[in-house]
Amino acid sequence: MSESIGFIGLGNMGQPMAINVLKAGYNMKVYNRDQRKAESITEAGARSGARPAEVVERGGIVITMLSNDEALKAVTLGHDGLLNYLGPGGVHISMSTVSPNLAREMHELHEKEGCSYVAAPVFGRPEAAESQQLWIVEAGNTAAKERIRPILEAIGQGIFDFGEDPAHANIVKISGNFLIAAAMESMGEVFALAEKSGIDRTQIFEMLTQTIFSSPIYKNYGKKIAEKNFQPVGFPMRLALKDVNLVLDSSEQVQSPMPFASQLHDRLLSGIAKGRGESDWAELTRGIADDAGIE
Amino acid sequence: MSESIGFIGLGNMGQPMAINVLKAGYNMKVYNRDQRKAESITEAGARSGARPAEVVERGGIVITMLSNDEALKAVTLGHDGLLNYLGPGGVHISMSTVSPNLAREMHELHEKEGCSYVAAPVFGRPEAAESQQLWIVEAGNTAAKERIRPILEAIGQGIFDFGEDPAHANIVKISGNFLIAAAMESMGEVFALAEKSGIDRTQIFEMLTQTIFSSPIYKNYGKKIAEKNFQPVGFPMRLALKDVNLVLDSSEQVQSPMPFASQLHDRLLSGIAKGRGESDWAELTRGIADDAGIE
Amino acid sequence: MSESIGFIGLGNMGQPMAINVLKAGYNMKVYNRDQRKAESITEAGARSGARPAEVVERGGIVITMLSNDEALKAVTLGHDGLLNYLGPGGVHISMSTVSPNLAREMHELHEKEGCSYVAAPVFGRPEAAESQQLWIVEAGNTAAKERIRPILEAIGQGIFDFGEDPAHANIVKISGNFLIAAAMESMGEVFALAEKSGIDRTQIFEMLTQTIFSSPIYKNYGKKIAEKNFQPVGFPMRLALKDVNLVLDSSEQVQSPMPFASQLHDRLLSGIAKGRGESDWAELTRGIADDAGIE
Amino acid sequence: MSESIGFIGLGNMGQPMAINVLKAGYNMKVYNRDQRKAESITEAGARSGARPAEVVERGGIVITMLSNDEALKAVTLGHDGLLNYLGPGGVHISMSTVSPNLAREMHELHEKEGCSYVAAPVFGRPEAAESQQLWIVEAGNTAAKERIRPILEAIGQGIFDFGEDPAHANIVKISGNFLIAAAMESMGEVFALAEKSGIDRTQIFEMLTQTIFSSPIYKNYGKKIAEKNFQPVGFPMRLALKDVNLVLDSSEQVQSPMPFASQLHDRLLSGIAKGRGESDWAELTRGIADDAGIE
């Protein structure tokens, strides 16, 4: 396990993921635009690079965990981009939630260089990343997926394979985020109705999630929403809108209307217009309370 | 356990529920508008009445399981209605999904006669009713709820108490049905997107329900929707629209807008307009396919 | 023109309408629940009755202009109701915006008594009522419509006939109100976009209404909305929601989904929840500003 | 009036517009990707160029009328693009419906070259273009706007000025298209309700457009919709979706949610998914009929 792994992107998701890879015994070189965020992980044994290119080895493996398409393009493309250094046989594990279109584009660019782009976005909040409890959705070149499997196993509790087209993993990922947002809106509407009808929000939440809606999403987000307690911020509304937009773009591309997604778009955009762009996305449900005249 | 219980309403939910009460050792008199439906349960040992009044004992317990407000009023009110025979100390366990307003009205009418109206609607499809796996939401007079507890335990796997106002149990019930419909629409939109993007519907269903959406609703309804297999009909679209309308009425009464409910209203109404009123409500997702031009 | 006309309902629409009938030379007896509102018209020469029945003559003509179904039923039905006194040959001109279902019911009840129920709802605000500029939509018995024509001509600038089924006139009326609300929402969305984009709201309003949207509705309501000047209150939001609900009920009855109507329902309900139920319905567009975080 | 004007884009709008400029006495050089479309206008006296660059004179005036952002960029930018030949003092009148963002970008690029980019999108269908009845919305450099005024007057019946920022003209234009689509959806919902209620579609259309909705949009499009007669195709649904998307993009940029626009997006996307992308956009109302189960 002396292979060296590059890791780019040490945000609140990337940081704990990188630490888990390090703990699994890999050598690691990390890069983050804001270098101060690399400190704790270099203290734990990783080396740090000043540019994306510095953490990549020819034919090696590099992981990226960034917040959007632009960030991924910035570290990957161009003269200083990682792609210019990865070379034949290399594998780029792209764990960011980016657009399916970018995944397709990246796939082709990597193929031209003789290396592989494996899309491997994750489900889970920062706490899940820390405790190695992420769910990973992967798609890309079969041989590359086999090679990186032990690394992914160090990061998540389960891996779901969606074939050779990296875009498919991204469609699944953004679909999952859409489903979470839809579940939050649905619960928010119910809890507001309950509150205005004189029923305890927490009690209806508990009934539902102990019975027919006993899944992590309903339990975890439902609790936040029932209690109107949106701290800490695991995923900001601003990025949630980005993801709903990715879903809407994909749905437009294949001509498959998604009215709930359209409505979530409006809900999230309104939240951002009201100054809540950096709040946790569960706070989209505050818009329901606003509409109902609840303080 | 020699107490005699009246049971009114032997549809595809009422029938198995009545059988479970009978199995628990109670004497039972049953009534159904279409008397042929009473045959299998009289063969199992229940007696049958020709009118609602005949299955009620003064001060006794009567259970109703009917399809809507009108049906509940028809068997309860008027000269031949059960309320005229139930008398002081009697308990009417109303397990139908009816409007919160009717629950309040019934509550008052029963109080005037010195008897109790306990709302006890259930979650679960006919299979769950058979296997005693229903979830029961109750609200009403405390003493009455204590008295009927063993009967409810014979019917469901869990009882959730929502206090003294029967309407609250009905609000919880219709909210739950709204949440199920919202989950179905959400999944339907995702599976249509997946299908048109070249991703296997079943595979994305499995990934989601093995991980963050691992609840009965997502697993059971998701499977039907992913496989486009809507047989048998557990709950017809016609009644689903009735329930979404009840949610919308309640939300209007307390002034708490529910945009997802409005959208589900339109979806279900369209399904009915297309001739699918008697199809299972999971078939609301066919409307998504129609909109996407999928055959 | 010595015929005596009964007029019931002297609100901010009924009052000027009654005055125009009086000016046309008819004898008039008026009734209003709050009798003080009858004062100015009795000063102008009408007589006043203490009960609906007192303003009706057997075989005569009575006009009602009330705010909803309940009010119309209250003055029409029961022992003291006008129907009990109208008798064979009488004509009830119902100008209120009520439900198509009530129109059908009233039609049958009047037929049984040998009299006619003509639905004749109007388009126009109180200013238009004063200046005899209302548009009238009528439906009902042909002979009765001929008889009342001069009276309607005293009230409006044009009469549109929709046949013999009174419900049809009401469907047209509530459809018109829906179209107005939809036009207001549409303009509100555009003016908010303009405002946040640095374009003058009034300038875009003027361009549009001087060209392709040069109709009274766009000009009159558009001006209010562009200038955010919602005084005076011509039609309260509370009644606008009532009318949108009538449209939705009608659309449900014939199974014809109306998604814009559903969205307007949510918008108006939210306005009412925020305490704007008595504001002019053009203020529904304040909800758009709220959603956009505009003060 | 011997000034030579370049005209690029001879589609069903550009063709009649170019002819009107020609008729006004200007010399004209035209370019169209498909050169056969230039024939009728060269027969009328214009000269034809093989490349965009060939129709542009240094310091002269060039008009573009193209279907989207990509087409405008293709003829304007790059070595062979018109911008490379227009030079100091030149004016580019951009009459296409393009994105406000592209307008801003073009404005800057033209300024760098010392020439002016005036956005001047139009309202009106091909018939209006032929009869010089277009409405023109302009924004851009003041001196340039003065210079081109006689040309615009040869094309339209009225010019509305929105200041110096070209993007503003495009926001007004796409807002107008959104309003038209919203009016069509609104009427479509009403006519479907009428039809299923037994009311003649044409009769309700006539009543409404002779009274409170007496504007060209309601009259012209309303007639098509009431009669379900969508020939000829003036503006294809595919381009209508493009414009609604431009509105949604603009609304997102300034954070001003537009729920009717979101719903129109879904409606148009569904129409396209059903194979109606090249049909007239008034046919979006067929989706309402589909939802209502109307053949």
CA torsion through residues B21, B26, B32, B35, sign = positive
**Which residues of B are less than 8 Å from A257 in CB distance?**
288, 291-292
Q: Give the closest-approach CA distance of C82 to chain D in angstroms.
A: 29
pLDDT tens-digit profile of D5-52? 999 999 999 999 999 999 999 999 999 998 888 888 999 999 999 999
The DSSP call for residue C34 is S
ipTM, interface predicted TM-score of the complex: 0.95
Rounded distance, CA A167 to CA D237, Å? 28
Q: Rounded distance, CA B3 to CA B56, Å?
A: 12
D200 pLDDT more than 80: yes
Which of B246, B255, B258, B264 to mutate to probe the C interface, most C CBs <10 Å? B255
How far apart, in whole angstroms, are the C-alpha atoms of residue B31 and residue B27?
Answer: 14
Give me the pLDDT at residue C9, please. 96
Q: Which chains touch C (3 or more CB pairs under 8 A)?
A: A, B, D
Say yes or no: do domains D4-164 and D170-291 share a fold. Answer: no
Q: Give the closest of B266, B275, B292 to D293, CB-based.
A: B275
Q: Which of C266, C273, C292 sits opposite A293 (nearest CB)?
A: C273
Contacts of B243 in chain A (CB under 8 A): none
**Cβ–Cβ below 8 Å for D176 and C260:** no
Q: What is the pLDDT of residue C215?
A: 95
Q: What H or E segment, with its residue span, contains residue B138?
A: strand B134-138
In angstroms, how far is CA C230 from the centroid of its own chain?
Answer: 19
Task: Give the model confidence (pLDDT) of B36-84 as tens digits.
Answer: 888 889 999 999 999 999 999 999 999 999 999 999 999 999 999 999 9
Confidence at residue D1, expressed as pLDDT on a 0 to 100 scale: 44
**What is residue C2's predicted lDDT score, i.e. its pLDDT?**
55
The verdict on a CB contact (< 8 Å) between D260 and C185 is yes
d(CA B273, CA D196): 11
State the CB neighbour count (10 A cutoff) for residue D278. Answer: 12
For residue B139, give how far its alpha carbon lies from the nearest alpha carbon of chain D (Å). 38
Instruction: Residue A159: list chain B partners with CB under 8 A.
Output: none
Residues of D in contact with B273 (CB under 8 A): 291-293
Helix B166-197 × helix B259-273 angle, to 10°: 70
Secondary structure string (H, E, C) spanning D180-242: HHHHHHHHHHHHHHHHHHCCCHHHHHHHHHHCCCCCHHHHHHHHHHHHCCCCCCCCEHHHHHH
Mean pLDDT within B163-168: 98
Which chains touch A (3+ CB pairs under 8 A)? B, C, D
Neighbours of B275 (CB within 10 A): 10
> What is the chain A residue with the closest CA to C291?
A270
Q: What angle do CA D205, C202, C295 make, to 5 degrees?
A: 105
Neighbours of D238 (CB within 10 A): 17
- Asked whether residue D205 carries a pLDDT value surpassing 70, the answer given is yes
What residues pair up with C145 in beta bridges, in sequence order? Answer: none
Question: What is the DSSP code (8-state) at residue C33?
Answer: S
In DSSP notation, D112-124 reads: HTT-EEEE--EE-
Report which residue type is found at A18: A
CB–CB contacts below 8 A, A to B: 191
- Which whole number is the average pLDDT over D116-129? 96
Q: What is the pLDDT of residue C1?
A: 44
Nearest of A56, A104, A45, A120 to residue A83 by alpha carbon: A56
Out of 3.40.50.720, 3.90.105.20, 3.40.50.1010, 3.30.465.10, select the CATH number for domain D4-164: 3.40.50.720
Q: Do D196 and C293 touch (CB under 8 A)?
A: no
Instruction: Tell me the shortest Cα–Cα distance from B206 to chain A, in angstroms.
Output: 9
Q: How far is CA A293 from CA C44, C241, C273, in A?
A: 45, 17, 5
Tens-place pLDDT, residues D125-175: 899 999 999 999 999 999 999 999 999 999 999 999 999 999 999 999 999
Q: Show the tokens assigned to C113.
A: 């008594």
Residue from the list A273, A275, A292 with its beta carbon closest to the beta carbon of C291: A273
pLDDT tens digits, residue range C137-194? 999 999 999 999 999 999 999 999 999 999 999 999 999 999 999 999 999 999 999 9
Chosen from A238, A248, A266 to mutate, greatest number of chain D CBs within 10 A: A266
Q: Which of D32, D39, D42, D41 shows the shortest CA–CA distance to D11?
A: D32
Token representation of residue D79: 């070595």
Q: Is the CB of C260 less than 8 angstroms away from the CB of D263?
A: yes
pTM score of the predicted model: 0.96
Nearest to A140 by CA among A97, A112, A110, A113: A110
* Amino acid at site D98: V
The pLDDT-based confidence of D112 (bands split at 50, 70, 90) is very high
List, by residue number, the catalytic residues of D. 173
3-state secondary structure string, C51-95? Answer: CHHHHCCCCCEEEECCCCHHHHHHHHCCCCCCHHHHCCCCEEEEC
Which helix or strand (DSSP H or E) is residue D253 part of? Answer: helix D237-253
Q: What is the pLDDT of residues C261-286, one digit of tens each?
A: 999 999 999 999 999 999 999 999 99
CATH number of A170-291: 1.10.1040.10
C224's tokens: 């209010």
Which long-range contacts link B21-29 to residues 24+ away (Cβ below 8 Å)? B21/B63, B21/B151, B21/B154, B21/B155, B22/B46, B23/B154, B24/B150, B24/B151, B24/B154, B25/B1, B26/B1, B26/B151, B26/B154, B27/B2, B27/B3, B28/B4, B29/B4, B29/B5, B29/B54, B29/B55
Alpha-carbon gap: B255 to the closest alpha carbon of chain D (Å): 20
Per-residue pLDDT of chain A in tens (295 residues, 90 and over written 9)? 457 899 999 999 999 999 999 999 999 999 999 888 888 899 999 999 999 999 999 999 999 999 999 999 999 999 999 999 999 999 999 999 999 999 999 999 999 999 999 999 999 989 999 999 999 999 999 999 999 999 999 999 999 999 999 999 999 999 999 999 999 999 999 999 999 999 999 999 999 999 999 999 999 999 999 999 999 999 999 999 999 999 999 999 999 999 999 999 999 999 999 999 999 999 999 999 999 999 7
How far away is chain B from the Cα of C190, in angstroms, using its nearest Cα?
A: 21
Pick from D158, D186, D293: which is nearest to C255 by CB? D293
Domain chopping of chain A, boundaries: 4-164, 170-291
Contacts of A272 in chain D (CB under 8 A): 255
> Does the pLDDT at position D2 exceed 80?
no
User: For D43-96, what is each residue's pLDDT tens digit?
Assistant: 999 999 999 999 999 999 999 999 999 999 999 999 999 999 999 999 999 999
Question: Which residues in chain D have their CB less than 8 angstroms from residue B266's CB?
Answer: 291
Pick C266's closest partner by Cβ from B259, B272, B273. B259
User: What separation, in Å, do the N-terminal and C-terminal C-alpha atoms of chain C show?
Assistant: 56
pLDDT at C295: 76
B89-122 pLDDT per residue, tens: 999 999 999 999 999 999 999 999 999 999 999 9
Q: Is A274 in contact with C266 (Cβ distance < 8 A)?
A: no
**Mean pLDDT, residues C116-130:** 96
Q: What is the largest CA-CA distance in chain A?
A: 65
Distance from the Cα of B250 to chain A's closest Cα (Å) equals: 8
B172-228 per-position pLDDT tens digit: 999 999 999 999 999 999 999 999 999 999 999 999 999 999 999 999 999 999 999
**Do the beta carbons of residue B282 and residue B135 sit within 8 Å?**
no
List the single best residue of D193, D291, D295 to mutate versus B (max B Cβ within 10 A): D291
The residue among A196, A125, A121, A132 whose CA lies nearest residue A166 is A121
Q: Reduced to 3 states, what is the DSSP secondary structure of residue D159?
A: strand
User: Residues 6 or more apart from A194 whose CB is under 8 A from it?
Assistant: A200, A201, A204, B171, B172, B175
Check B29, B145, B173, B242 and give the catalytic one: B173
Beta carbons of D182 and C182 less than 8 Å apart: yes
The confidence score (pLDDT) of residue A1 equals 44
The confidence score (pLDDT) of residue B1 equals 44
The whole-number pLDDT of residue C35 equals 87
pLDDT at B2: 55
- Mean pLDDT computed over B133-140: 97
